[in-house]
Amino acid sequence: MAHPASTQATVQPRINPWITLSLVCIAVFVGSVDLTIVSAVLPRIVTDLNVSIDSELSYASWIISGYLLTYTISMAFMGRFSDLIGRRMMYFVCLLIFLLGSAIAAIAWTLDLVILGRVVQALGAGAIVPISMALVGDLFAPEKRAPALGFVGAIETIGWMVGHLYGGVLMALFDDWRLLFWINIPAGLLALGLTWWALRDVQPRRASGTFDWPGALLLSASLIALNVGLSAGSELGLTDFYGQVQGLPPYALPLVLSSLLLFVAFIVVEQRVRDPLIDLAMFRQPMAASACLINALFGFVLALALTNVPLFVNARLGLLNPTDMTILRTAAWDSGWLLAALTLTMGLLAVPGGWLTNRLGLRPTTMIGLVLTLVGFVLLSTWQSDTSYLMMSIQLMITGIGMGLVISPVATAILQSADAERRGSASALVITLRLVGMTLGVSVLTLWGVYRQNMLRSNADAAAQAGIDYALASSDPAQFLLAVATTVIGEIFLAGAIASLLALVCAWWLRPVLDETRGEHRAT
Amino acid sequence: MHRIGLSLLAVCLLVAGCGGTASGPPTPTIAPADLSQRIAEVIRQSQSLQFLLEFTGEPAYADPAGLFRLISIEGGLQRPDQAIATLKVRSVAGVADVRLISLDGQLYVTNPVTRQWTCVEQGALFDPVVLFDSSQGIDYLIRDVFENPTLMPPEEIDGVQQYHLKGQMQGSSLIDITYGMLGLGLVEVDVWANAETLQPTRLVLVDTGTNAEDPTTWTMTFSDYDQPIDIRAPITCE
């Protein structure tokens, strides 16, 4: 995590530090937009690259999860690198890496190259957030850092909230997914120039303490092993050429077990090192632990929604309009604005969420939000092939209202559980945990979705149990496939409802804690 | 010492240069037409091979309504009449796999919706076995239909020296074997064959009668000659 300098700001700025931070945040925004930009256009990319939905779909999901995973890992490492080689140089290097990744993705002619481009992109983009958080320590005095850190976090959040809409609009206008990556080149170069100029006077100071290399490596290895293992699990239902079910790939279970072992090792290391990557002492407070869990579950359900909505829209439009060659373009646009009903509502409700937290407290606000989220996901799980866009939008907005109300109290709980010196790390932790949840969300969705649709398409009994008329497979294949898609997507939305329920249970522990040193409630 | 090193380097380069020339493609002493006959004969003698057939340019459709566009067919052929292949088919809803087995005159295909194997009558679908058919397959085309073959300069593909023959085929000769997907006009043909074994490695057919700017193109890649292939009936047909 980034460690903003804990003492005096050391910059001698010729310009207002807020202007400097704002210019730097253009890069943060560009990077975070790409977290969600492909969700609306993924079906188009997959089709253009001739990726088979029968045998290569789980691999294609790495276009999203590869970015999320690398972004998360990059966040864990790069803040510290910037202490060593300087913020300005680090921004320069990371933006160049991001631009290189964008160019690779833009010219990619195979799925492998798109995934490679996305991973390279994320390596640069993920680094920009912690460097910006570390920069806050260079630019601002300790008492002014909290709002500055909040600003960086807000820009990052706005980026991924509008990413899919931006992607949908560009697809509707230009009908070319490669443009989504090409457009990063001028945007990134602009951010590069502005950042280079804005940081010309900023002298970085080394954060106190050392960087927890073993912790960062163990956490990264654990995340990679878990995601690759879960992704391999999606091959559970795949068959050999003759139709015999092959079962799990031999490396899947060992990878998942390894990830658990690596995570245990990470916990052990964190308890022993002087400057741990994550301050585990924070998790001894029930409030902080539950807030972290809620935040990860928040990321999990968010990822389900961000990927499920475009899947539903594309499946419905594609199957019901088999002769319309422009339908994928329409689907990208429809997915983009439908998702905006979720994410923009979420963004708008984050501010009232803060007000409600001040008036009602952490627990009531979070619980109200999570109840609405739970209701929203249950409603989303009822989508059918004839559900109207109006109804879908309303249900997504209900979900967005709930999720929006949760953002502020959960972040507040985590930040206020941390010591003043570690609030920078805690800010980064808020983002990191959400990203970990999102990454797991995409992996679990892929695992269940691919397995389940294989099962329902090839097994008449399983289809009958799910209420699907198997006879449709021969009499009306499009309706049959749509019924399968609707069933699987509904089940995944239900998983989102279950995750919301878990988060709701966790919210019980978001109780104010009496700060004995100050004789007041630390978080109310 | 320095001069000795340079001298040794020069000698090495010279030897390497000579060696390069010596291991280059043998200059054929036969006419292109004879070479094509020999290549055709090598195919006829082959017991099995792996192939990848890619469709580019003006789309080739797998159905009369034009909803399913063929992307590629990849698989293996084994004499006398066996084939195993995966067809990649693209529709608006995405790209799907269709598996196919041809064995003892019976064709088996997976349903693209349910992925269950079904029995299909011969002639109902494009059967890759036809590529090995001596009366209309690849060896027949290269032997009897290939017109005006010209030998191009030797080339290297994947590190292996190749002969490259260029010529044409009359479209009408290709209609049957390609299920009518090729043959609207004169078809430009390029054949590459391993310079030592004369086993064809690549065959490119460009139908000039389809679309002048983006003509229908079949690119066939061959490999793994005479390796056994496991081909068996997936279900029992009544």
The tens digit of pLDDT for each residue in A49-93 reads 988 887 787 888 899 889 999 988 888 777 667 777 778 888 889
DSSP A179-239: HHHHTHHHHHHHHHHHHHHHTTT----PPSS---HHHHHHHHHHHHHHHHHHHHHGGGG-B
Rounded Cα distance between A513 and A519, Å, is 10
B2–chain A Cβ distance below 8 A for any pair: no
Kindly determine whether residue A322 and residue B96, on different chains, have CB atoms separated by under 8 Å.
no
For residues B98 and B115, give the distance between their C-alpha atoms in angstroms, rounded to a whole number: 8
Instruction: For chain B, give the percent of residues with pLDDT over 70.
Output: 86
User: pLDDT tens, A237-276?
Assistant: 677 888 777 777 888 889 999 999 999 999 999 888 887 8
pLDDT at A252: 87
Quick one: pLDDT at residue A421? 65
Contact B93 A322 (CB under 8 A): yes
Which of residues A329 and B83 earns the better pLDDT score? B83
User: For residue B93, which residues of chain A lie inside 8 Å, CB to CB?
Assistant: 53, 315, 318-319, 322, 478, 481
> Which residue out of B92, B102, B116 would a mutagenesis test of the A interface target, given it has the greatest number of A Cβ atoms within 10 Å?
B92
The nearest CA of chain A is from the CA of B45 a distance in Å of: 28
Tokens 């510290």 correspond to A80
Instruction: With H, G, I as helix, E, B as strand and everything else as coil, classify residue A150.
Output: helix
B114 — contact with chain A (CB < 8 Å)?
yes
> Could you identify the residue written with the tokens 């091959």?
A235
Q: Kindly list the residues from chain B whose CB atom is less than 8 angstroms away from the CB atom of residue A243.
A: 110, 115-117, 234
Distance CA A94, CA A231 (A): 28
Residue B128, token pair as written in the block: 């890759």
pLDDT of residue B201: 95
Q: How many CB atoms neighbour CB B21 within 10 A?
A: 7
CB contact (8 A) between residue B86 and residue A241 = yes
CB within 8 Å: B113 and A324: no
pLDDT of residue A305: 94
On whether any CB of chain A is under 8 Å from the CB of B111, the answer is yes
CA-to-CA dists, residue B222 to A276, B43, B138, B194, angstroms: 57, 10, 11, 11
- Which H or E run contains B109? strand B106-110
Three-class SS of A440-491: HHHHHHHHHHHHHHHHHHHCHHHHHHCCCCCCHHHHCHHHHHHHHHHHHHHH
Nearest to A54 by CA among A448, A450, A442: A450
Please tell me the distance from the alpha carbon of residue A342 to that of residue A344, in angstroms, as a whole number.
6
Pick from B88, B93, B234: which is nearest to A52 by CB? B88
How confident is the model at residue A237, as a pLDDT? 65
**CB-CB: which of B67, B114, B116 is closest to A322?**
B67
pLDDT classification of B22: cutoffs 50, 70, 90: very low
What's the angle, vertex CA A416, arms to CA A202 and CA A279, rounded to 5? 75
Q: Among A324, A327, A457, whose Cβ lies nearest the Cβ of B113? A: A457
Instruction: Compare B52 and A160 and report the one with higher pLDDT.
Output: B52
- A49 min Cα distance to partner chain B (Å): 9
Q: Provide, as residue numbers in chain B, all residues whose Cβ is less than 8 Å from the Cβ of A479.
A: none
Q: Do B92 and A457 touch (CB under 8 A)?
A: no
State the number of CA atoms in the 13 A half-sphere of A88 facing the CB.
14
Q: Which of A328, A458, A470 sits opposite B115 (nearest CB)?
A: A458
Yes or no: say if B61 and B70 are a contact pair by the CB < 8 Å rule: yes
Pairwise CB contact (< 8 Å): B97 & A242: no
Identity at A248, one-letter amino acid code: L
- ipTM score for this prediction: 0.71
Q: What is the pLDDT of residues A411-457, one digit of tens each?
A: 888 877 777 666 667 777 888 888 889 988 988 888 888 889 888 98
CB < 8 Å from B in window 368-397 of A: none
Nearest CB to A52: which of B96, B116, B232? B96
Residue with tokens 């010279």: B14
Whether the Cβ atoms of residue A499 and residue A301 lie closer than 8 Å to each other: yes
| pLDDT computed for residue B29 by the predictor | 64
- Tell me whether residues B113 and A51 touch, CB distance under 8 A: no
Distance of alpha carbon A487 from alpha carbon A478, whole angstroms: 14
- Helices A62-85 & A423-458 angle (0-180, nearest 10): 160
Alpha-carbon distance A508 to B71, whole Å? 55
Closest chain A C-alpha to B154 CA, distance in angstroms:
28
Q: Is the dihedral of CA A222, A223, A227, A233 positive or negative?
A: positive
As a residue count, chain B comes to 238
pLDDT of residue A515: 45
Could you list the mean pLDDT of each consecutive 10-residue stretch along chain A, which spans 524 residues?
Answer: 47 73 89 86 87 82 90 80 77 92 95 95 90 82 76 85 89 90 93 87 65 88 90 74 80 92 94 83 85 94 93 90 82 91 90 87 94 98 95 97 92 79 72 88 87 87 88 86 94 97 94 49 42
**Structure token digits, residue A383:** 């989508």
Cβ distance of A473 and B114 shorter than 8 Å: yes
* pLDDT at residue B158 greater than cutoff 90: no
What is the C-alpha to C-alpha distance for residues A315 and B114, in angstroms, rounded to an integer? 16
How far apart, in whole angstroms, are the C-alpha atoms of residue B20 and residue A57?
Answer: 46
The alpha-carbon gap from A475 to the nearest alpha carbon of chain B, in Å, equals 11
Residue at B71: amino acid letter? I
B91 in A contact zone (CB under 8 Å): yes
Is there a cis peptide before residue B80, judged by omega within 30 degrees of 0? yes
Q: CB of A60 within 8 Å of any CB in chain B? A: no
Does residue A20 contact residue A204 with C-beta atoms inside 8 Å? Answer: no
d(CA A395, CA A376): 6
A/B interface, count of CB pairs below 8 Å: 72
Collapsing DSSP to helix, strand or coil, B219 comes out as: strand
Is B117 near chain A, with CB under 8 Å? yes
Q: Which pLDDT tens digit goes with each residue over B101-137?
A: 999 889 999 988 888 899 988 777 788 898 888 888 8
Rounded CA separation A238/A236 (Å)? 6
Of A322, A454, A481, the CB nearest to B92: A322
Residue of B nearest to A474 (CA): B113
Q: Give the three-state DSSP class for B212.
A: coil
User: d(Cα A427, Cα A347) in Å, to the nearest integer?
Assistant: 18
Query: Distance between CA atoms of B115 and A371, rounded to whole angstroms?
Result: 41
User: A65: closest CA among A450, A521, A453, A386?
Assistant: A450
Supply the pLDDT for residue B17. Answer: 38
